[in-house]
Structure 1
Amino acid sequence: MRDNPHRPRRRPPPSPTPVRATGHHDEQEPRLYTPAEAAALLRIPESWLRRRAGRRLIPCTFLGKHLRFSAADLAALIAASAEPATGRRTHRRRHPPAPT
């Protein structure tokens, strides 16, 4: 088939980007979670997460008007929320006997 000078040449389709079978991200590639994804990971209500982030009470990232959470943000949130385990009380409160 001869080239037609009046017809523009077609570009070859772009080569697809390679997809990994594991689905894991590189350590160098930052992963940002949406509020819904972060809430699902932390098993908390998304509204709680959005409210706290909007007041800047928890670590978060704003990309323009879009709220995102990095893995470091989630780890910091978990670490800040951790409470040490408390042991049993050594003395139990005793109620005085009721008057008869």
Structure 2
Amino acid sequence: MVRDNADISELPSPAADSPGSQADAVLLLTPAQAAARLQVRESWLRAKVSARVIPCTFVGRHLRFSEQDLADIVAAGRTEPRHGRRAQRAR
């Protein structure tokens, strides 16, 4: 049976509904890529991972970082401005 193009275009694509589609895919970055995105040294990033201070993902033995990991690292480093009296100047 031969279908014309109008019938085929109405069919949903198999990837659109599958749980592993690109829309659901999590992009994992290497330590070098994550360090570049955070504008820190890769050695700093690896030291924080070793100390279990920052979130990360291990794929087998490979260290990776998701976008959420990077957002959590940035959020953890956020500080609020001080309110109240100014520090006195040294004389």
Structure 1 unmatched runs, 5+: 1-25, 96-100
Q: Secondary structure at the match of 1:62?
A: strand
CA drift of 1:57 comes to 1.3
State yes or no: 1:82 paired with 2:78: yes
Which of 9, 26, 31 pairs up with 1:30?
26
Give the TM-score of the pair, scaled to structure 1.
0.61
Greater Rg by CA: 1
Structure 2 CA distance for aligned equivalents of residues 54 and 91 of structure 1: 37
Distance 1:72 1:90, change over 3 A: same
Over aligned residue pairs, what C-alpha RMSD do you find?
2.0
Match of 2:63 in 1: 67
More helix per residue: 1 or 2?
2
Q: Give the total of aligned pairs.
A: 70
Distance 1:93 1:62, change over 3 A: same
Structure 1 CA distance for aligned equivalents of residues 84 and 47 of structure 2: 35
Q: Secondary structure at the match of 1:67?
A: strand
Structure 1 CA distance for aligned equivalents of residues 51 and 24 of structure 2: 30
Give structure 1 regions of 4+ aligned residues with deviation exceeding 4 angstroms: none
State yes or no: 1:48 paired with 2:44: yes
CA drift of 1:91 comes to 5.3
Match of 2:5 in 1: none
Structure 1 CA distance for aligned equivalents of residues 70 and 50 of structure 2: 15
